[in-house]
Amino acid sequence: MGVTAVLMLPLLLLGISGLLFIYQEVSRLWSKSVVQNKVVVITDAISGLGKECARVFHTGGARLVLCGKNWERLQSLYDALISVADPSKTFTPKLVLLDLSDISCVQDVAKEVLDCYGCVDILINNASVKVKGPAHKISLELDKKIMDANYFGPIILTKALLPNMISRRTGQIVLVNNIQGKLGIPFRTAYAASKHAALGFFDCLRAEVEEYDVVVSTVSPTFIRSYHVDPGQGNWEASIWKFFFRKLTYGAHPVDVAEEVMRTVRRKKQEVFLANPIPKAAVYIRTLFPELFFAVVAYGVKEKLSVPEEG
């Protein structure tokens, strides 16, 4: 009996591995079929995540409309996509110059986006601007810039494209948000406020458009790190705050987030929280034990920071 069990274990592991491989391949093919021929608009397509989303959806056969505020970088992305694509299975991406922080032009650019194919099936709101520093050192002008880029710009674009989805009774809107739409972190007041506002808007919108078969999804990673930068070890002190904050700032790789966006579109998920266990626990602690959460966060506020703009 014991010998038989030992012999069966490798076969069992091999069988499980085979099933997982088949599941992954079926999921990959299913993802492609879901977005094939769909008009997909990606904002800030020139960012790390934007590029990966463009790659994933382009490979899946989507008709891409890539938006960004730098034409040369948009053109570079275009060249990179078509250089590795199969022309018989993909569509040539269309490029649109768009700076979401300039809210006065978003409405007109939305018309240009619609003119590309006459409709929009999937809108991926990806653009984001960050700032870090003590609240009293951040000017109101900078506060407004953050709100324009992270809140007003995306909702203006969404409102402009939404009637097309409602009239066709189909569509999906994906907001790539952040953990700071769920909880606040010191020295990021403007950024956290913009992310809270955006999440609140799209949570409300989800219920409003459900009757028109329009899906609203939110994907909230902790942070999206650059391609080649892993969280460094640093000279962290052995304290609760240092441990908590370091775990909280472990970012997700753009490739992982882009694949999660694709899964969210495929499965029509309403909300995805992309984080390791520490940030997830922080969200629950903030909800269930707010005083404990506030005490841990306040313990870490020891140094004043400058106000460098990160985005």
pLDDT at position 226? 64
> Catalytic site residue 227?
no
Q: What is the pTM of this model?
A: 0.80
pLDDT tens for the chain, 311 residues long, are 555 655 666 666 667 766 655 655 555 554 456 899 999 999 999 999 999 999 999 999 999 999 999 999 999 999 999 998 788 888 999 999 999 999 999 999 999 999 999 999 999 999 888 888 888 899 999 999 999 999 999 999 999 999 999 999 999 999 999 988 888 888 889 999 999 999 999 999 999 999 999 999 999 998 777 655 444 444 444 455 554 554 455 578 889 999 999 999 999 999 998 887 777 888 888 889 888 888 887 776 654 444 444 44
Out of 117, 191, 227, 250, which one is annotated catalytic? 191
Q: Three-state secondary structure along the chain? A: CHHHHHHHHHHHHHHHHHHHHHHHHHHHHHHHHHHCCCEEEECCCCCHHHHHHHHHHHHCCCEEEEEECCHHHHHHHHHHHHHHCCCCCCCCCEEEECCCCCHHHHHHHHHHHHHHHCCCCEEEECCCCCECCCHHHCCHHHHHHHHHHHHHHHHHHHHHHHHHHHHHCCEEEEEECCHHHCCCCCCCHHHHHHHHHHHHHHHHHHHHHHHHCEEEEEEEECCECCCCCCCCCCCCCCCHHHHHHHHHCCCECHHHHHHHHHHHHHHCCCEEEECCHHHHHHHHHHHHCHHHHHHHHHHCCCCCCCCCECC
